[in-house]
Structure 1
């Protein structure tokens, strides 16, 4: 399978000649048994066999600093989470139509991290399922089907969610009921009222939906606009957009799969920095530190029509073992102060890249919140010309030096830096040192 022109940081199998015989054999076996749809990262794919803390290890025992993973966010093979999964699996794991205390206890604890307006929790296995369920709830509540997303959004892989995920590429078309708008790009549109500009995009999408007889149902955004390029400032810019969709009879869904669970540092949930309460919040990936558990929380009045007129059942969503993983993960975040750590270490990393920008002219912008950072690379700072190929070279240069990041953005020129939550100062220094080396190579 040749390199995917749309997917950033994807492996090009025409470069097999540069790999070892064992690696070539593994790649060929993947193609044989898994088919052509899967993709690998990096010019030289990684063969990872073990993880511990903030490091991944290949089969030769080489350590890679993981500054990308948002799944095992509290650390690879985190002992407390592993123990919780093991302990519950030795007692009971079954479907979710029996009474069980743990799911209720965890739901209470989870809801306690949200504003008072959010009152119910529902559980799934993946973020894709959570977003799928959220759209069903939204449609029932609003009577509409129209969905507004950002230009390069990614929300999941089910049929209904793939068609609201432009980042999957041109060969995965958007639904006729979907409108994709410009992200709140504070770099390209510096000096403009970014909240007003984004809300105007929402209003234009609403008008276009209505022109084709489609009633608006939801605005769904990843609270940190991950695939669009990482946009976090200024705090509060989402308020006007949420107001616009609600005035049109729709609801605001915050997709927190990327930005939730202390990732953004300033708050536990990404939407909180904007001073607006969503109607539905979805979550997944880091929720169980790698165990497949996800879900949503919602305003009771939004969930009521869906619950009254239908029923919801998910065989594995919220099973005892999954809930044990999720409860242990949230406990680690709270006990170890990982939100505060995300805030302080993230600030250190952003400051470090700002200093590197004085040395490396290709750094056009540094942005982010907590341990989610975007560094935009350009060939000309004045023209803000995107340096897509140079971004690819930096990502792979860092990989060769033992630090893992990726790339993102509508122009493919943003370094996507998403360290694990227990990152310490020495890890941040290693990341910055290797980034300095990779940028110097340009």
Structure 2
């Protein structure tokens, strides 16, 4: 797969504004490189050594406090006291695998299922979103007899061997296997004003290509806000036509909710909820335990039975009592602190503030999103082409102003805005001011 483009270089997801050996000779960085080697991934050309975090803020070793708009893992806030207390209490009492009945595990599963469509009544717990997506792909193949997967062209779904093959943005060289087809994201650029019809047509073209290859399709797998592609949320409902098309071909729809799930979009608890659809499987991760490693897959019982008839599944640490305690605390905090509603309301304030900046600066080509998940496209003022160099400049400028932010999209020219759901109005306003300053 060629990585070159007319407007620059396609950006591999882990390389966006990342440290590269030689940028600094700091002792702590050299220590990390000696331990992790080529697999080391550090944010910023000059990495930050963090020592603590609370709410929407992180504190570095040198005492600098940063407003965190980068990391969606601690979704209810860094070091939330209710999550800390739940994990501490449970690990002091019992932690074991799911071969034993422990009530906190089933308490959590039932609380989670209360947010799911009724048809997805089985949940398999894992430790990472990668494992959840790997399992979902295997279940889809068992349920359909197919091997073909449709994803978007800059999708990232995880890092197991199987899931990496369905994660175009993870590839530094080489090409996708014959069993994976990447289609354009649901954007105006690719579909014009008919986002729903355009995305459906892309799915249908992929299905026709599978037919030419003699490959039976297994699933369309999509992050329902298309975060790695650059955040495409609207109009609500546009996904339904593509889902109808994939099901008409005898395949399934896997909703990857690792990033948009758990109230982040504001309008609905899940990203797919904004589209009025019921997936065949839902995969979850990252914010599920507010930083405690946990993930899972919700699935129809008949599909799970078809898979387990062949190989079965067991995960030693998946669904352990400490993870369940963390997950239950997260659900309780989202409910009790009104965090989905806060994502909707504070997100609307943030979106409007960023659009005000866009109206005054032609380099801000587009601002879009839902709740506290927003994409900001940066472009060359004269040509309108994506400008990854400006994006890195803005990211560094915001860091110097005490705000952490990352990039996404095919060219790394989209700011990916996803702060903790507890974000306050004044913190949203601080972000907008930092953004304006970084553009100056």
TM-score by length of 1: 0.94
Whole-angstrom distance in 1 between the partners of 2:51 and 2:217: 46
Match of 1:409 in 2: 409
Match of 1:154 in 2: 156
1:359 equivalent to 2:360? Answer yes
RMSD after superposition:
1.6
Match of 2:103 in 1: 101
Match of 2:326 in 1: 325
- Within the candidate set 37, 43, 49, 1:35 is matched to 37
Q: CA deviation at 1:407?
A: 0.8
Contact 1:134 1:296 in 2 (8 A): yes
Whole-angstrom distance in 1 between the partners of 2:179 and 2:381: 38
Q: CA deviation at 1:118?
A: 1.9
The 5-angstrom pairing of residues 115-194 of structure 1 reads 115-171=117-173, 173-186=175-188, 188-189=189-190, 191-194=192-195
Q: CA deviation at 1:5?
A: 5.9
Contact 2:11 2:412 in 1 (8 A): no
Q: CA deviation at 1:264?
A: 0.7
Whole-angstrom distance in 1 between the partners of 2:314 and 2:117: 26
Q: CA deviation digits over 1:267-310, x for unaligned, max 9? A: 11000101111000000000000000100111223223123444
Match of 1:57 in 2: 59
Unpaired runs of 5+ residues, structure 2, are 1-8
Contact 1:199 1:244 in 2 (8 A): yes
Q: CA deviation at 1:189?
A: 4.3
Whole-angstrom distance in 2 between the partners of 1:310 and 1:411: 40
Aligned length: 430
Contact 1:254 1:282 in 2 (8 A): yes
Match of 1:274 in 2: 275
Q: CA deviation digits over 1:190-224, x for unaligned, max 9? A: 74311111111111111112212211001000011
The 5-angstrom pairing of residues 371-386 of structure 1 reads 371-380=372-381, 384-386=384-386
Match of 1:433 in 2: 433
Q: Which secondary structure does the structure 2 equivalent of 1:399 belong to?
A: helix
Whole-angstrom distance in 1 between the partners of 2:160 and 2:46: 29
Q: CA deviation at 1:379?
A: 1.3
Q: Which secondary structure does the structure 2 equivalent of 1:130 belong to?
A: helix
Unpaired runs of 5+ residues, structure 1, are none
Q: CA deviation digits over 1:160-189, x for unaligned, max 9? A: 111111111233642321111101113x24
Contact 1:254 1:280 in 2 (8 A): yes
